[in-house]
Amino acid sequence: MNVKKSALLSSLAILALCFSSSAFAELCTVGRATQVLWKGDWYKAMITEAAPDKCMISYVGYTADDDEWVGPERLKIKILWKGDWYPGRVIKKEGVNYLIGYDGYSSDDNEIVPLSRIQVR
């Protein structure tokens, strides 16, 4: 393989990695209100910063000492399914996709979805 082609392929691989690893940051819209799971309860919060795989949140009514980075599994989300949005949560990341559970449904209905079907609520 020639040097130019090798360099181009390396650049494309790095670019693809950057886009896939920072995709979750698209959900972390700074200034967006959300709810965060902490010790079994949901708390109102505001997203204050975004990173490739987590959001910095500030809990509503609490001090900056309580601000923290949270991953997708601690955020309330909604999932697009057959044209409608359903509430749920991320169970875990599966490569570039997410294993999600729908609120009020059994684990039999869990599915792996791309980020394009998820929104923070």
pTM greater than 0.85 (yes/no): no
Q: Which pLDDT tens digit goes with each residue over 65-76? A: 999 999 999 999
- Check residue 112 and give its pLDDT: 97
**Residues whose CB falls within 8 Å of the CB of residue 97, separated by 6 or more in sequence, listed in order:** 112, 113, 114, 115
Q: What's the distance, Cα to Cα, between the start and end of the chain in Å?
A: 48
Single-letter amino acid code for the residue at 2: N
Residue 22 has pLDDT above 80, yes or no: no
- Check residue 23 and give its pLDDT: 60
Percent of the chain whose pLDDT exceeds 90 = 67
Alpha-carbon distance values, 39 to 31, 36, 44, 66, 86 (Å): 24, 10, 14, 14, 23
Counting the structural domains of the chain, the total is: 1
Q: In the structure, what pLDDT confidence band is assigned to residue 47 with cuts at 50, 70 and 90?
A: very high
What residues make up the domain containing 95? Answer: 3-120
Q: What is the C-alpha to C-alpha distance for residues 56 and 68, in angstroms, rounded to an integer?
A: 6
Q: In the structure, what pLDDT confidence band is assigned to residue 28 with cuts at 50, 70 and 90?
A: confident
Residue 70: CATH number of its domain: 2.30.30.140
